[in-house]
A and B are shown apart, each in its own frame.
Chain A
């Protein structure tokens, strides 16, 4: 059976008040229609507040790139606050620091050649980030142990991955969270282990209420498997599939 291709979410701020908002919106459309058709999905940023829970799950369901017009980073902030962490956050003004110069137009019918060149430049960068996100997701699915996430998204946090009901969930900083739990004296046989791990993870990562039990089970297994005495307490393949080499845990 053919595997479903990995899709990447792209969220534009589409800021109406500045020309860069139009550039961000058009660049995302260009990626979706021309550069990476079928590989990208998008959602309207305001839907995180106006929409339902399913819409707010967007960034939890897709590796997500945000594209902001200015350094207020509304798309990044809105996505991370209302939906989930992003794997790359681009800012149009940063990408266009060395040109091309914008005309200042906001309407599509007034765009200059420079505006269109800017759209192409930003779209090309989004496409590169998309490719890296796909590569990272693919490598995470590929094997039981990966030395790094490989996505190049410049995150300094080591990621850990859990297997939940046959799918992989990447949690930034999981090895560090586990390390902190150990420092705090959380034993692998603590009767409230699942609850305490879930609460620790929840500080950094949104866990849907309906999946709490699955997350607890996966976290318990991963925590025990990553324990310095894991050999004495667990057997079989580790459900903690991947972690950065900088991760403090031992296997």
Chain B
């Protein structure tokens, strides 16, 4: 497993642009990196991995990664693995909707209160994972 000593845990969302799930994934990453675990987590442009930028490749290969994907295509998860990274934890936003049947989360452009609720729940779970990874716990 990648060592976290050299840097923060990477929380990498898919940022899918077609559905609300992608926006939730994106907002989860921002909540964790900007609010819940700013000292232990940061995000990384997934597009940089698609581009194959060396710095981004090195980051995912040497640091623990948490991927947050909106839909079952799992773009973040797959791209991190294709880049040679080890995904320590994978979040699937679509799975969270099973616990929120009938929720009105908003759109790919803006979240409604239900969408923010789901975002906060997922972010809380990711923050816990970040803390564990930062303390070197095997998951």
Contacts and interface: CB of A to CB of B under 8 A. Distances in A.
Interface of A: 12-18, 21, 25-26, 28-30, 33, 42-51, 72, 74-75, 77-78, 82, 106-109
A78 B15 contact: no
Contact of A49 (B29, B42, B45, B79): B79
Interface of B: 12-18, 22-23, 26-27, 29-31, 34, 42-51, 53, 73-76, 78-79, 82, 108-111, 116
Contacts of B18: 42-44
A107 B51 CA distance: 24
A14 B109 CA distance: 12
Contact of B109 (A33, A77, A82): A33
- List 7 tightest A-B contacts by C-beta distance, closest first: A74-B47, A46-B75, A50-B78, A15-B45, A50-B75, A14-B15, A29-B109
Given A44-B14, A45-B50, A49-B78, A16 B27 contact: no
Nearest to A68: B47
Nearest to A70: B45
Given A14-B26, A16-B29, A51-B73, A78 B17 contact: no
A78 B47 contact: yes
A44 B17 contact: yes
B50 A74 contact: yes
B17 A75 contact: no
Residue among A17, A29, A48, A109 facing the most chain B CB atoms (10 A cut-off)? A17
A106 B34 contact: yes
B17 A13 contact: no
